[in-house]
Amino acid sequence: MEPDAAPPAINVKSLDKRFGPIHAVRGLSFSVARGEVLGFLGPNGAGKSTTMKMITGFLEPSAGTVEVCGADVLTDPIRAKQKIGYLPEGAPCYGEMTVLRFLEFIADIRGLEGDVRKQRIEQAIDTINLGSVVHQSIETLSKGFKRRVGVAQAILHDPEVLIMDEPTDGLDPNQKHEVRELIKAMAADKAIVISTHIMEEVDAVCTRAIIIASGQILFDGTPRELLEQSPSGRMDDVFRQITTRFYEQTGMQGTS
C-alpha cells in the first residue's frame, strides 16, 4: 500500500472577492505543493495581487478558504502567517530605518532570538547582496535596492511558503538573474508563488503557470504545456492569445 501523498503547502478553495459591485476574484481553486514554483500570470486588473493578499491574510475573502501548511488563514491566522514569507507589491519599508535596523525589526516581529536571529539577518544580507548598503537609510536607496530589501525580509525567517508579487520589479539584468537563481535554489523545500509580467521569468524559474483574467483561471499547467499552445513558440504570444480570446468571448475586463 502506497503512503498518502503529502498535503499541499497552499490550498485555495472557491476563493471569491467582491469590492462592492466589483467582482475581482471569482471562485478560484488551486493548490501548490512544496517544490513547486508557480508563476501567477494575468493582465493588469486580473486579480493577481488581490488573490495573493487573500492567501497571505492581508485581505479577507468574500467567500472560500485558504489553508497554508494545514492552517486556515482566516481561523488560525498567526500559525498560517508564521509559515509565509510575503513580498507585496511595491515592497513597502520604513524609509527612515537603515537596512540593518529594518531587518532587525522584522526579526523581532518574527520572534527570532539570540544566535538564530543574528545568523538569519547575516544570511539574508549576504544572500541578497545588501552588504554595501546595510547602514544606509532605506529612503536613500535606489528602487532596485529597495526591492532587494523587500526580498530579504520575506526570506528572513526561512518560511515554508513564499508569496512574491513582482519580485524582480525595478532590478537590473544582473540583479534579476540573482533573484531568479535564489528562487530556484530555495524551491526544493518551499512552495513559491510569484506574480510577474516578465514572461521569460516563467520559463526561467517556474515549474508551473496559472493565467487568470477577471479573477478566473484560464490556464493551469507547465510552462512547456503553455508554450505548446503558441504557434510562434513565444510565451508572450500565447499569453496574449489566451487572455485576448477570453475578453473577446466574455466582454469582461480587468477590475483589480
Torsion 173-175-179-185 (CA) sign: positive
- Summarised one tens digit per residue, pLDDT across range 5-21 is 678 999 999 999 999 99
Encoded amino acid at 54, one letter: M
Whether the pLDDT of residue 256 is over 60: the answer is: no
Q: What is the pLDDT of residue 5?
A: 65
Burial-class residue 201 by CB neighbours within 10 Å (0-12, 13-18, 19+).
buried
Q: Among 239, 248, 244, 193, which Cα is nearest to 219's? A: 239
Nearest-angstrom CA–CA distance, 93 and 111: 19
> If you search the block for the grid coordinates 483574467, which residue do you land on?
213
Domains and CATH numbers, the chain: 10-83+161-250 (3.40.50.300), 95-158 (no CATH)
- Summarised one tens digit per residue, pLDDT across range 136-171 is 999 999 888 898 899 999 999 999 999 999 888 878
Nearest-angstrom CA–CA distance, 251 and 67: 33
pLDDT band at 39 (very low <50, low <70, confident <90, very high): very high
Contacts of 140 (CB under 8 A, 6+ apart): none
How far is residue 142 CA from its own chain's centroid? 22
Taking the alpha carbons at both ends of the chain, their separation in whole angstroms is: 47
Whether the pLDDT of residue 254 is over 80: the answer is: no
In the three-class reduction of DSSP (H, G, I as helix; E, B as strand; rest coil), residue 28 is classed as strand
DSSP per residue, 211-239:
EEETTEEEEEE-HHHHHTT-TTS-HHHHH
Nearest-angstrom CA–CA distance, 64 and 71: 14
Average pLDDT of span 33-54: 94
Question: Would you say 100 and 106 are in contact if contact means Cβ atoms under 8 Å apart?
Answer: no
Whether the pLDDT of residue 58 is over 80: the answer is: yes
In the three-class reduction of DSSP (H, G, I as helix; E, B as strand; rest coil), residue 72 is classed as strand
- The CA angle 56-61-67, to the nearest 5 degrees, is 50
